[in-house]
Amino acid sequence: MALFKQATTFLGFSIPPHKKLTAAVKSVLSCRTAYFPAEFQKPITDQDVLKELEDSSEFENLKFQPFLPAPISLNSSVFYDEFKERFTRYVMKGGQKKLARELLEKTFYEIKKIQLKKYYEAETDSERNEIECNPLVILKNAIENCTPMLTVKKVSRGGSVYQVPVPVQEKKAEYLSIKWMLEAARDKGSRVHLPIKLSKELIDAHNGEGRVIKKKQDLHKLCEANRAYAHFRWS
C-alpha cells in the first residue's frame, strides 16, 4: 500500500479513489480462476434493451464485447419473467430447481383457484374488475407491498445499544420481503404444503393484509419510534 501511495504522488496527479475497477483489473485481482475472463459480459435477450443499444452508438462497440453463455434459467420466451426466476431461486433448497419450479407453479394454481372462485361469486362488474386473477401480478404486488423502506441497525453509543433507523437498499429490501414471505409460508409445525400456504399469504399481501404486511408495518413502527436516534447513523 505504501508503494501504491508513493506511485500516486510520484505521478503528480491522483486517481480519485471512488473510480470503479475495470474488468481487466478485476480479472487480475480475482483469486480464483474462473472459466470466463472478467471482460465477458452478461447476455442480453430483452428486445427493448437491444433496440435502445442499436439506436445509440454503443452497438458498434458490442462487436468487440464477448458475452457469457446464457444461463440455464434464461430464455427469450414470452412467458419468461426475471422476478419469477429470482423468486424460484429463493424457494429452492438443496439445489433442487425442478422441485422449486413445480412448487411455484402449484402456488400459482392455488392462487388462480382462490381468485377465480371469488371472481365467479362476484355479482357486479365493478367487483369483478377489482379481483386480480393473474398469479404473477399478485406475486409481484405482494412482494412489493411487503418491502420495507427502513430497517433498524444496532449502534452502540456510550455503552448502550440503540436501534437506529436506517434506509434499506432496494435489493436488500426485496430480499427481506421474499424471505419473510417464505418464512411465513414455511411455518414449522404446519402440515399444510407450501403452495397452499404461500398462495394464501401472497393473496393477503396483495390485498394489503396478512402476517407479512404486519411484519413490515411493525418494522416501520419501530423505526418511527426510534427516530430520535436517527442521527446516530452519522455521528
What residues between 30 and 49 interact with another protein by CB under 8 A?
Answer: 35-36, 39-40, 42-45
Nearer to another protein, 78 or 161 (CB): 78
Nearer to another protein, 72 or 161 (CB): 72
Question: Would you say 107 and 198 are in contact if contact means Cβ atoms under 8 Å apart?
Answer: yes
104 contacts another protein (rule: CB under 8 A):
yes
Give first-to-last CA distance, the chain, whole Å: 28
Q: Which of 76, 72, 200 is nearest to 139 (CA)?
A: 200
94 contacts another protein (rule: CB under 8 A):
no
Cα dist. 154→142, 176, 199, 220 in Å?
Answer: 28, 17, 34, 15
C-alpha span between 145 and 213 (Å, rounded): 7
Which residues are bridge partners to 151 per DSSP? Answer: 166
Provide, rounded to whole angstroms, the least separation between the CB of residue 208 and another protein. Answer: 21
Rg of the chain (C-alpha set): 24
What residues between 156 and 215 interact with another protein by CB under 8 A?
Answer: none
What residues between 49 and 78 interact with another protein by CB under 8 A?
Answer: 50, 60-64, 66-78
Query: Rule CB under 8 A: which residues touch another protein?
Result: 1, 3-4, 7-8, 10-16, 18-19, 21-22, 24-25, 27-29, 35-36, 39-40, 42-45, 50, 60-64, 66-80, 97-98, 101, 104-106, 108-109, 112-113, 116-117, 119-120, 125, 133-136
